Structure 1
Amino acid sequence: MKDCTIYKTVDIIGKKWSLCVLLELYKGENKKKRFNELKNKLQDVTPKTLSTRLKELEDQGFIVKKTDDSTVPIKCEYSLTESGEDFIRVIHDIKKWGLKWKFENDECENSNCRLCQL
């Protein structure tokens, strides 16, 4: 099964917080977010876990990290790659499935994920 595309994909995105990190990078008009912005939005994630997920998602090509060392402190910003942007459609499909089969959430049903404030 190790060569199965589904198993390989789930290994990448199935880790806790991975989808939430991608969704937070997608949300809002600002396409770039710093570590602390993500940490504040994902309140229950530990800094270590967030750092690990960001590195994994970067290694897998979902996000890109830009470092500006011309400032003190050094400024790092994360944003979605083309692959990450494309994956947002999968997250929208998961949302649609959840709303159809599992959860009643009028606020979520009537909002665009990019504009979501939840």
Structure 2
Amino acid sequence: MKNCTVYKTMNIMGKRWTIHILLELHKGDKKEKGFNELKRKLGGVTPRILSARLVELESEGLIIKQTDHSKVPGRSEYFLTESGEDFIQVIQGIKKWGTKWKFKNSECDRSVCKYCDL
């Protein structure tokens, strides 16, 4: 099973907060977000876990960290790569499955949900 693409993908995406982070980076008009903004929007994530997930997502090529060194202290922002943007379609599929089989939510049934922006 170690060569199975599904298992390999789930080893990346199945970690707690991973999909939430990708979704937060996708949401809204401003596609780049700083560490503190992500932490605030995600709610219960610890700084240690958020930092670890951001490093993992960057190493997997799903996000890019961009640091502005002209400010003191330097400000880092994160945004989705093409690969990360493509994964949003998978998250949309999860939403469709959830609204069809598990959760009745009139907000999510709209073409663009006010909660997840999908």
The bucket for the TM-score relative to the shorter chain is over 0.9
**TM-score with structure 1 length normalisation?**
0.94
Moved over 3 A (4+): 115-118
Contact 2:23 2:116 in 1 (8 A): no
For residues 2-36 of structure 1, the C-alpha deviation after alignment (integer angstroms, 9 at most, x for no partner) is 00000000000000000000000000000110001
Number of residue equivalences: 117
Give the match for residue 41 of structure 1. Answer: 41
CA RMSD, 1 decimal:
1.4
Query: What's the secondary structure of 1:45's corresponding residue?
Result: coil
Contact 1:27 1:116 in 2 (8 A): no
| Structure 2 residue 60 is matched with structure 1 residue 60 | yes
Instruction: Kindly provide the amino acid, as one letter, of the partner of residue 49 in structure 1.
Output: I
5+ residue gaps, structure 1: none
Give the match for residue 88 of structure 2. Answer: 88
Shift of 1:116: 3.3
**TM-score with structure 2 length normalisation?**
0.94
5+ residue gaps, structure 2: none
Q: Identity, % of aligned pairs?
A: 61
Give the match for residue 76 of structure 1. Answer: 76
Partners of 2:55 and 2:111 in 1: CA distance: 30
Higher RCO structure (Cα 8 Å, ≥6 apart): 1
